[in-house]
A and B are shown apart, each in its own frame.
Chain A
């Protein structure tokens, strides 16, 4: 489904050079629920961004559904981001000037035949249990609610892969387990592939596979 080959990511500023990822090789199977663990700053978010085609690796190749996407242009990359991936960010990344409903419809705006946009967005919001907050602005939501809106936005376009960067990082444990339940349901009943970054050992243990990172490299425990 998704393969990373010899991925390096080096951040260069004028004074320092940070090697965020060092020769990473990773394969994600279709329908798999994978969690990524590791200490802060080891490159998990960087890895997820490269998987989701939000960032380009310094070297190495990313293959999605057997297609090498490393050299693709802006339009093809946008198409993959739109159809194949659904991103859940560590810091929500909702647009504060748009209502909850408009935030959720966002991915559908960039489809040629999206169907009934509002209907699909409502269904996604129902799935995350937020159908009663549709006209609110993101600033009027709690952290847990905001993250659920972000998940609704990630699933509304029916993507094959959901990439979630610490989806429960900002939530208390009850909220966190609700979100986890949601993700498991998306994985088991809808058959979506999920890659999740987490710091929570017990959450990680519920998933199919755990990959550990340390200092930009994959480690086996």
Chain B
């Protein structure tokens, strides 16, 4: 049977040449197109590093001076801070709420802009500064555990990191930063060095697992720091709310009533809005055009795949249709329908496998020269040492595997359909076909 398959292919090499070339081109192109789509799906599904699906943001505004309900007695800095604390405490008492944290003005993960700092690692061999993103938090507000950020072994726990008092310039860094600056070492106790003034040092007090600053961008090098010792007077603040498993943020926000709003009013502070964290993330992605971009690349890939399936399947279909008489001869001398199907599919598989190997090697040449898709990184910020794209072999193997399976499926459809239609007619009818 195998010898017959190879003989058939070899003896029909002229008739099958175009189909063969088509398969090679399709294999190489499918690799190139799926590469981008695969990476963007992979990146979108990387863990955020915190529990966005349990979180909710409550925005608090204050009643403007001169409004009827304005409380002049609360308009001093001492009552302002007290009322912020009371407001947060009231939120914490609401049913379903497990934990709350008042956020620094620009300290919301994913949504707010972050600043970038350049540091040296402080080892002699280090030649240049690396850029890392920093995001701000308020100490003493259960920041890390409300987000659900985990600390790495050898570092203080999230609770300890939230509760400790911070001296200026102290940093909590993510695993990626630690691996970049002090690979293989425990970074707790190390110091960053200011590139402009080497006497200025920034001690690392804790290391937490990676957190993604933007959901549509690869894990970046992120660090946390604070310039304050606690809550300060403000007209506006945001409270991060962590809910328990019994209620999802969507439902919680929808069920929030006027009574709830009245109960939360504290001094001049009132509830301005409630937003599930997932919505915030979606908004940021949308406004960054990332959702559209990803949908586009997925749409492109789907469009291409449909064409690929139709193209190869129909080419095979047409080639196989021409051989009905030949199959009639096989049937007349003892082949079963199953033999015929196996023979046609076997030919298709052998041809597809050879073409795929050639196409894949062609794509590999291209990839070695220009690189595989790396996905979306933030400009100017150094990337963590360890990303999927940096595992070239693994990346390439997975990509090739997917494309191979696709090509095989196309060929199987293209040969199975005519083989099936052949099984409906008698050998005589097949023999009469030309």
> A-side interface residues toward B, CB under 8 Å?
49, 52, 54-56, 74-75, 78-79, 81-83, 87, 89, 93-95, 97-98, 102, 106-107, 109-111, 153, 157
Contacts and interface: CB of A to CB of B under 8 A. Distances in A.
A106 B326 contact: no
Contact of B336 (A56, A74, A111, A153): A74
A98 B11 contact: yes
Interface string B316-330: 000000000110111
A75 B428 contact: no
Contact of B1 (A74, A78, A109): A109
Contacts of A94: 329
Contacts, number: 70
B340 to A, nearest CB: 10
Contacts of B326: 95, 97
Interface of B is mostly: helix
B12 interface: yes
Contacts of A54: 331-332, 426-428, 431
A56 B426 contact: yes
A97 B11 CA distance: 6
A109 B4 CA distance: 9
Given A98-B7, A102-B7, A89 B334 contact: no
B376 interface: no
Contact of A89 (B11, B423, B431): B431
B285 to A, nearest CB: 56
B334 A79 contact: yes
Residue picked from B1, B7, B427, most chain A C-beta under 10 Å: B427
Interface residues on B, range: 20 to 34
A54 B12 CA distance: 27
B10 to A, nearest CB: 9
A78 B334 contact: yes
Contacts of A97: 8, 11-12, 326
B2 to A, nearest CB: 11
Interface of B: 1, 4, 7-8, 11-12, 325-326, 328-339, 423, 426-428, 431
B57 to A, nearest CB: 67
B336 A106 contact: no
B329 A106 contact: yes
A93 B332 CA distance: 10
Contacts of B339: 78, 110
Given A78-B339, A97-B8, A157-B333, 16 more contacts: A54-B331, A54-B332, A55-B427, A56-B426, A78-B334, A81-B331, A81-B427, A82-B334, A87-B332, A87-B333, A89-B431, A98-B8, A106-B330, A106-B333, A109-B4, A110-B334
A78 B428 contact: no
A89 B329 CA distance: 10
Contacts of B426: 54-56
A55 B428 contact: yes
A52 B332 CA distance: 8
A110 B333 contact: yes
Contacts of A153: 333
Contacts of A83: 334
A78 B336 contact: yes
Contacts of B331: 54, 78, 81
24 contacts: A54-B332, A54-B426, A55-B427, A55-B428, A78-B335, A81-B331, A87-B332, A93-B329, A93-B431, A94-B329, A97-B11, A97-B12, A102-B4, A106-B333, A107-B333, A107-B334, A109-B1, A109-B335, A110-B330, A110-B333, A110-B336, A111-B334, A153-B333, A157-B333
Given A55-B426, A95-B329, A75 B431 contact: no
A81 B430 CA distance: 15
B334 A81 contact: yes
A115 B139 CA distance: 86
Contacts of B431: 54, 89, 93
Contacts of A109: 1, 4, 335
A95 B337 CA distance: 18
B167 to A, nearest CB: 84
Contacts of B8: 97-98
Given A54-B428, A55-B427, A74 B337 contact: yes
Nearest to A92: B329
Contact of A81 (B1, B11, B332, B423): B332
A49 B330 CA distance: 15
A86 to B, nearest CB: 8
A120 B7 CA distance: 19
Nearest to A45: B428
